[in-house]
Structures are given as C-alpha cells and as structure tokens.
Amino acid sequence: MIEVKNLSKKYKEVEVLKDINFTINQGEIFGLVGHSGAGKSTLLRLINGLENYQDGSLKVNGVEIKNLKGKDLRELRKNIGMIFQHFALMSRKNVFDNVAMPLNFWGYDKNHTQKRVDELLEIVGLIDKKYSYPSELSGGQKQRVAIARALALNPKILLSDEATSALDPNITNQILELLKRINKEFGITIVLVTHEMDVVKTIANKAVLLSKGIITNQGEIHELFLKPDENMREFLGEKMIVPKDGINIAIYFPKDVAFECVITQMARNLDINFNIVWGKIEQLSDLVLGHLVINIDPKDKEKVVNYLKKTGVLWEIVKK
C-alpha cells in the first residue's frame, strides 16, 4: 500500500532523510518512531504529497507521489486523512461544521453531509457535542472531532502526527483505543508518528525507528521489543545495570513461552543456583513479552547455555 525505496529528502543542502526503505501493508498500524528532529514529520508529509523528495521512490497504491500534480494530487489527499498534535480545528466553526469541512470542499450535497457527519460523530462518541465549539471541548474531545473530520471522505489511510502528545495518559489510551477500533472496523491503514514508544507498543503492528534521518531498526513490534539492540535501548532510555562478577545471560521470552517456567525448571533440572539481576515484562498491544537477566557462576556456563539452546527462548551473553 505504501512502498518506500531508497528515499532521500533534502532541505537545501541538508539531507534530513537518507536512504529510507520500508513497506506498509493495507490494514496495518505502522509506527514512525524517533526523537525530535529525526525526520518523522517530514516523512509523513512526503506520504501525502505535501513535500517533495529528491531521490528514491515513494509509492501509495502503486502511484509515485513525486509525479502527482493538480487533480491527481487532490485525489490522493482525499484518500489520506490526517490528524495532528494540536488538532487543527477551526475555532469559529462548531463541531458539525468542522467535521463537514472536507465534505463541503468536495461539493457533497447537504443531505449526504448531514448524514455522514452524524454517522462520524456517532463513531467518535460525540453526537451530543454536535453544536459545541472547540473552546468548549476537552483535548480528547477535540482530537475526536479531528478524527471524525479526517474520516469524512472514507480515506484508505490515516496519518497521525503526534496525535496524542498533548493529551494526558488516560485520554491518550482512549484515543488509541478509538484508532484501533477504526482500524479494525473500517480496515483503514494507520501511520502514526510519535516520539513515545508507549504509543507504538499499545497499538502498532510494525514500526521503524528513525535517528537523524536514518532507519536504525524496523520490524514487527514484538521483534523490536523482544530483543532490543543498542539503538532501541538508547531510544527507550533503558540502562541495564548488571553485576561485574560472574556471567550475565539475558533471556527473552517470545510470545508463546512468555509464561512458561523456563527459569525455575532450569534451576531444578541443572541443580544450580543463580541470581535474577534484571527483569522486565513488556505489555504490547496483544501480547506480553518477558526479558530477564540472570547471573551465573562461570563454571555453570556450558550447562546453562546447552539447556537454553534446547528451550526455544532467545538468549545472549551480556557484554561487559
């Protein structure tokens, strides 16, 4: 659905996206994650043709975005809804008129617009606020209006630029639940830009991690979290503090063995003692992942390694 190949983007002489490659399939919730200035918003603007790129290819439904002009570009944007951190609502228009804006722009008749706006306000749970003005709404409600407006023309893709960054955690979760429901019920592909890994963890299926215009990591969410490498750990702000003595072994529990008693069984079967020196359970959108570090006596290393190889868990010896 969205295919990015060897894409590069420059602002004057500064290359802000370098050799970007990824594919987003229809119906996915895909995260573009990274620190401020990584190039996430730029990438999102390239997808809906708001900006141009110098090298490489960016195709939406097989169409090269760079080549689109005039009516074709407007048609592309009709198929792509967008929501923003600060909602971008018109303060002088009420909820109904805000949601009706795209329908009016495309010249739909009054009856269709009335019906469609009511339908959308039902979907986002705001039918009772139809005649309220943005200033009378909470942040979460404003974002719901923005979501309704973004869906007005039945887009195939919804782009979300830090849509929950201005909201508190509780409201963030409600908006993420709404986005999940929209994705499921209408099959809309969602691309979300965020600097919060929690957001991606909660709803995305796949993500790319961007750093200074380069993709450092990409894949299924559970893979990214299952065995986070240096880049992921740095992004997550995670510092593993482990003992200097002995051998530290990190064990990652994939989805199908997350709850099995690998550790206790190993202690019993091998008749050894060890310490658990670091641990974390990660709740992802629909699964739980475990990550433990054990500290063993060097004399047990071979036994433990051989045992772990047989269990099917992922593991590695932590470098000192």
Ligand X SMILES: Nc1ncnc2c1ncn2[C@@H]1O[C@H](COP(=O)(O)OP(=O)(O)OP(=O)(O)O)[C@@H](O)[C@H]1O
With CB under 6 A as the contact rule, which of the stretches 39-47, 123-131, 220-228, 266-274 interacts with ligand X?
39-47
What are the φ and ψ backbone dihedral angles of 39, each rounded to 5 degrees?
115, 10
CB-based burial label for 244 (10 Å; 0-12, 13-18, 19+): exposed
What does the alpha-carbon distance between residue 111 and residue 127 come to, in Å, rounded to a whole number?
Answer: 17
Exactly one of 11, 106, 131, 259 binds ligand X (CB under 6 A); that residue is 11
| 166 binds ligand X, rule: CB under 6 A | no
User: What is the bridge-based pairing of β-strands 214-220 and 206-211?
Assistant: antiparallel
| 18 binds ligand X, rule: CB under 6 A | no
With CB under 6 A as the contact rule, which of the stretches 31-39, 56-64, 103-111, 149-157 interacts with ligand X?
31-39
Nearest to 25 by CA among 144, 188, 137, 135: 188
| 31 binds ligand X, rule: CB under 6 A | no
| 48 binds ligand X, rule: CB under 6 A | no
| 78 binds ligand X, rule: CB under 6 A | no
- Please report how close the Cβ of residue 276 comes to ligand X at its closest, in angstroms: 37
Residue 40 or 129 with smaller CB distance to ligand X: 40
Q: Which of residues 184-203 bind ligand X (CB under 6 A)?
A: 195
- Please report how close the Cβ of residue 137 comes to ligand X at its closest, in angstroms: 24
| 267 binds ligand X, rule: CB under 6 A | no
Residue 34 or 49 with smaller CB distance to ligand X: 34
Nearest to 188 by CA among 120, 126, 136, 103: 120
User: What is the bridge-based pairing of β-strands 314-317 and 247-253?
Assistant: antiparallel
Neighbours of 231 (CB within 10 A): 15
With CB under 6 A as the contact rule, which of the stretches 32-40, 127-135, 144-152, 294-302 interacts with ligand X?
32-40
Residue 11 or 259 with smaller CB distance to ligand X: 11
| 216 binds ligand X, rule: CB under 6 A | no
The 274-313 contact track toward ligand X, x by CB under 6 A, reads ----------------------------------------
Nearest to 199 by CA among 284, 267, 273, 265: 284
Exactly one of 22, 24, 33, 34 binds ligand X (CB under 6 A); that residue is 34
Residue 16 or 314 with smaller CB distance to ligand X: 16
| 130 binds ligand X, rule: CB under 6 A | no
For residues 77, 78, 84, 89, the Cα torsion angle rounded to the nearest 10 degrees is 130
- Please report how close the Cβ of residue 8 comes to ligand X at its closest, in angstroms: 13
| 40 binds ligand X, rule: CB under 6 A | yes
| 143 binds ligand X, rule: CB under 6 A | no
Residues of the shown chain interacting with ligand X in the complex, contacts defined by CB under 6 A: 11, 16, 34, 36-42, 195
